[in-house]
Amino acid sequence: MSGKKGNNYIILQEQGIAKIELNRRKGKNLWAIIDLEDLEKILSIPYTWFAKYDEDIKSYYAVTSWYYPELKRSKPVHLHQFIMNANGKIVDHENHDTLDDRKSNLRVIADSNNSKNRKTRNSNNKSGYRNVCWSERENKWIVQLQVNKKNTVLGRFPKEQLEQAGKFAEQKRKEIYGEFAGHN
């Protein structure tokens, strides 16, 4: 294990990756995974990477505080954006592991696609399936998705067909959202 500028790292040559230790104020340190070819780039900056918790997604990101002399202040820079040279664009972790910063797991995407590629349903979901909700008025399960920025009802199912509604919703997400369909 070697260290530089506050971060320890491990090189796993046979896997073509490196692991960067991320400090936390409280609790056990975490590790970010990067491609070995990005290690020099990561270590060449004079800042320390740390684990920052994101309350919205309930997960950690690798972040550093980058000082901008012209602004006379620091701003956070996320490791996945730094690796992808994203310049303010959104970078998505395909496998939803926010500490897996290998380029094979990262893609620059539009904001509208980022919200589609989710690993879980909404916290207030009662059906157990993404995009399926109960309509008291209709006494049916409703399958709805965002299509062209509008909430669109794609199907209605009787009370006893919840599982079919869930499968239908997953099928429609794949058809409409493609690679950004996410999971049920």
CATH of the domain at 69: 3.90.75
pLDDT digits (tens), the chain, 184 positions: 444 456 899 999 999 999 999 988 888 999 999 999 999 999 888 889 999 998 877 889 999 998 888 988 989 999 999 999 987 788 988 888 999 999 999 988 765 545 545 555 555 567 878 888 888 899 999 888 877 778 888 889 999 999 998 888 888 888 877 766 565 5
Question: Is there a single domain that holds both residue 86 and residue 125?
Answer: no
Q: Which residues of 149-160 are buried (b: 16+ CB within 10 A; e: fewer)?
A: eeeeebbebeee
Q: So what's the pLDDT on residue 144?
A: 86
Q: What is the CATH number of the domain that holds 166?
A: 3.30.730
Q: So what's the pLDDT on residue 122?
A: 55
The overall pTM is greater than 0.85: no
Q: So what's the pLDDT on residue 40?
A: 92
Residues of the domain holding 97: 2-109
Q: Which residues contact 109 (CB under 8 A, 6 or more apart)?
A: 89, 90, 91, 92, 117, 180
Q: Residue 86: how many CB atoms within 10 A of its CB?
A: 15
Question: Is there a single domain that holds both residue 105 and residue 123?
Answer: no
Q: Which residues pair with 157 in a beta bridge?
A: 141
Structural domains of the chain, count:
2
Question: Is there a single domain that holds both residue 161 and residue 97?
Answer: no
Q: At which of 86, 109, 132 does a domain end?
A: 109
Q: Which residues contact 163 (CB under 8 A, 6 or more apart)?
A: none
Q: At which of 91, 109, 127 does a domain end?
A: 109
